[in-house]
A and B are shown apart, each in its own frame.
Chain A
Amino acid sequence: MSQLLEAFAWIGDPTRWSGPGGIPVRLAEHLWYTALGVAIAALIAVPVGLYVGHSHRARGLTVAISGAARALPTLGLVTLFGLWFGIGLTAPILAFVVLAIPSLLAGAYSACESVDPDTVDAARAQGMTEWQILTRVEVPLGMPLLISGLRLAVVQVVATVMLASYIGNGGLGRFIFLGLNLQDYPQMLGGSILVVALALVLDVLLRLLERGISPRGAARV
């Protein structure tokens, strides 16, 4: 318990809230790495997921690949990519992309699949093109699931971004790794608490977005 109190005291220390290695800078770096990883993953996973969900093609393959990707240990990937690309941001961001893809992919294809086939048929009968069905029927109706996939990806990545500090980057992981190696557990725990808090805040915000975004008249998922 006292360790926990010390950790909060560590967070509360005003000297840590300024300067180039202070908490605000590390927090911003942490958010930036998270955003970068999730955004790149979304650029890949969302179009693929929507295609799979809409066309019902290659679903088994997609599920298998994203399932396998989930099993990859991110620290291993960071190290492996680090040996290819050297220290810096490339290696960890790539690893976070791999981490974020499965959730985003699942969100995207289940968004399409969640739409009642009768609704899709009705849209088709009205003369909508496949593109219109996707963008005007499936995506709006499946939006909550799409956002839910995004939420899962963000929470996973934000909790893992500490690994960026493993190979020479910033982020809240700096406190965690430094605290760990110095046996300065208040610092380590303080860094961890900040990561947890950040994950919770992002989770709540995206949940709110998820709720607010269901189109009127659509059944709540």
Chain B
Amino acid sequence: MIRRRTTPTASQGPDHEQDRDRGLFQGAVIGRRSLASAAGVGIIAAGVAACSNEDPLAKDSESAKGGDSSASDGGGKSGAIVVGSQQYYSNEIIAELFAQALESAGAKVERQYQIGQREVYVPELKKGSLDVMPEYLGNLLQYLDEKAAKGTAEDLAEGLSSALPDGLRALPYAKATDQDSYSTTQEFASQNSLKEIGDLAGQKDLKIAANPEFEERPYGPKGAKSQYDVDISVVPVSDSGGPLTLKALMDGKVQIADIYTADPSIVKNDLVVLEDPKVMVLPENVVPIVSEKVDDKGAAAIKKVTDALTTEELIKLNTRSVDDKTDSKTIAKDWLEKKKLLK
């Protein structure tokens, strides 16, 4: 992970040497998902590329040159299906899975990766300059219709279908989810026989390392208290479940950490993700959002990918990116071949 921070990778634009203070602010704005992969110096500054007020797509095609994607200028003018991704390495891998599945089904595909946050790309989806975007159920619905964002994955998918603007639809969501979690070490879990969040009830001086906004989220301390009768306080660590959050947990400075469920560090450190039977944490299953340009054949091709994508598989895909620095194209191709999803 340290090398990830100092070595320019696919997730960085060419602007990483920009003014550091500006980079910090802009980088932080890009939000938790992108920050999860961007906990460091250069990568944070790269957020500038996607978050400035300039035309995000024009900017993005420029930054894609430094990466592994082969985006061309301007979305969709050649009639190709434009696949986008957030500025989050894992999201780019999923986007690449969709892109190659579409290509294998005979479609012409353009790639516009690392677009940044929803405020930037949702308008592009509405405008029709983006056709496919890997999304997450809870976060997207929260963005589109905050009040509707509660309940199980199924509820969320239903909410999405009515909240999405005309011309956009959500394809069936994957089992894979990349969401906030109450995670702990194997040791702490077995010492206190923890299986689900509710088992923490009665523990004294519980601390969770999480982004500062965790304090205000419905699944934060207030939710834990009201739903599971757990008293827990937040130690704000602003790297979105990244290496600093993990270290706080491993050092024992906190007993619980909010680490996203598709983060390779969960497997690597043998962490226990406490179960959440009351669905307090908003489910963030991977869901493809597509425009009308994606026909039934294309939708079927994407569905094959989402059907095969579980959280374990997503962690494996992410691990290849984090550990081996393999580019998204190769990761996606190998996985699709292994799953026999390419023709």
Contacts and interface: CB of A to CB of B under 8 A. Distances in A.
Interface of A: 73-76, 79, 82-83, 86-88, 165-168, 174, 177-178, 180-182
Contact of B251 (A75, A86, A165, A177): A86
Contact of A86 (B28, B213, B215, B253): B253
- A-B pairs, top 7 by smallest CB distance, nearest first, are A76-B41, A73-B20, A181-B213, A178-B212, A86-B251, A87-B248, A168-B235
Contacts of A74: 20
13 contacts: A75-B24, A75-B44, A79-B5, A82-B244, A87-B244, A87-B247, A167-B238, A168-B236, A177-B28, A178-B212, A178-B213, A178-B215, A182-B216
A73 B41 contact: yes
Contacts of A75: 20, 24, 41, 44
Contacts of A168: 209, 235-237, 248, 253
Nearest to B244: A82
B39 interface: yes
Contacts, number: 76
Most buried by B among A83, A168, A178: A168
A165 B44 CA distance: 17
B247 A86 contact: yes
A87 B243 contact: no
B212 A83 contact: no
A174 to B, nearest CB: 7
B327 interface: no
Q: Is the interface of A mostly helix, strand, loop or mixed?
A: helix
Contacts of A167: 237-239, 244
B247 A177 contact: no
Contacts of A73: 20, 41
A87 B253 contact: yes
Contacts of A180: 25, 28-29
Contact of B238 (A76, A165, A182): A165
B238 A83 contact: no
A163 B253 CA distance: 19
B238 A166 contact: yes
A181 B28 contact: yes
B211 A181 contact: yes
Contacts of A174: 212, 236
Given A167-B237, A168-B236, A181-B32, 11 more contacts: A75-B44, A79-B243, A83-B247, A87-B235, A87-B251, A165-B212, A174-B236, A178-B215, A181-B31, A181-B238, A182-B213
B40 interface: yes
Nearest to A168: B235
A177 B238 contact: yes
Contacts of B235: 87, 168
Interface string B220-259: 0000000000000001111100011001100101000000
Nearest to B19: A73
Nearest to B6: A76
A177 B213 CA distance: 8
A76 B40 contact: yes
A98 to B, nearest CB: 14
B41 A79 contact: yes
Nearest to A169: B236
Most buried by B among A83, A88, A182: A83
